[in-house]
């Protein structure tokens, strides 16, 4: 895939996550994609990840992803961003993160997400 195609996948993916568009997120994932997070060292299936993203959309309805940097590499892209949101109690909250994403045939085959563990811990206190 050309860099511009990979970066197009990246943009569609982050905007779908930001807007809570679960159908588009699912379409961008390969059916057998795996999603891994550094803070829990768990590898999720697409279905597991979609449930988490739907939960985040419900718990943090006011959220925005600020892209710090995004660059294509052969077979994928790396992205540094900050998730900014209001917690249910109205507190402003920020979560710096980095994604390393493998793209095959125009779909996300693997996503490794490195989150600030302190910020992730705040989310975990909100329950599921």
Handedness of CA 36, 37, 38, 39 (dihedral sign): negative
Of 126, 40, 38, 122, residue with least CA distance to 83:
122
Q: How far apart, in whole angstroms, are the C-alpha atoms of residue 104 and residue 70?
A: 18
d(CA 82, CA 65): 6
- pTM here is 0.91
Euclidean distance between CA atoms 43 and 35, whole angstroms = 5
Mean pLDDT computed over every residue of the chain: 92
In this predicted structure, what is the pLDDT of residue 125?
76
3-state secondary structure of 38: coil
CA dist 79 and 62 (Å) reads: 21
- The side-by-side arrangement of strands in the sheet containing 107-115 is 42-44, 29-37, 107-115, 92-104, 76-86, 63-73
DSSP state of 71: E
Name the domain count of the chain: 1
Percent of the chain with pLDDT over 90: 77
Give me the domain span that covers residue 96. Answer: 3-125
The pLDDT of residue 128 is above 90: no
Report the percentage of the chain scoring pLDDT > 70.
98
pLDDT tens-place string over residues 39-94: 889 999 999 999 999 999 998 988 999 999 999 999 999 999 999 999 888 889 99
pLDDT of residue 3: 85
**CATH code for the domain in which residue 57 is found:** 3.10.450.50
C-alpha span between 86 and 19 (Å, rounded): 15
- Quick one: pLDDT at residue 127? 62
pLDDT at 110 exceeding the cut of 90: yes
User: Across residues 6-28, what is the average pLDDT?
Assistant: 97
Over residues 50-65, the pLDDT tens digits come to 999 999 999 898 899 9
């Amino acid at each position: 895939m050309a860099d511009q195609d990979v970066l197009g996948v990246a943009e569609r993916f982050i905007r779908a996550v930001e807007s809570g568009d679960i159908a588009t997120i699912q379409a961008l994932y390969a059916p057998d994609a795996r999603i891994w997070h550094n803070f829990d060292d768990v590898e999720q299936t697409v279905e597991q990840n979609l449930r988490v993203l739907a939960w985040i959309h419900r718990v943090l309805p006011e959220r925005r992803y600020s892209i710090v940097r995004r660059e294509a590499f052969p077979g994928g892209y790396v992205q540094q961003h900050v998730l900014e949101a209001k917690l249910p109690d109205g507190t402003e909250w920020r979560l710096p993160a980095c994604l390393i994403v493998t793209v095959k045939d125009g779909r996300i085959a693997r996503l490794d997400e490195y989150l600030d563990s302190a910020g992730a811990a705040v989310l975990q206190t909100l329950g599921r």
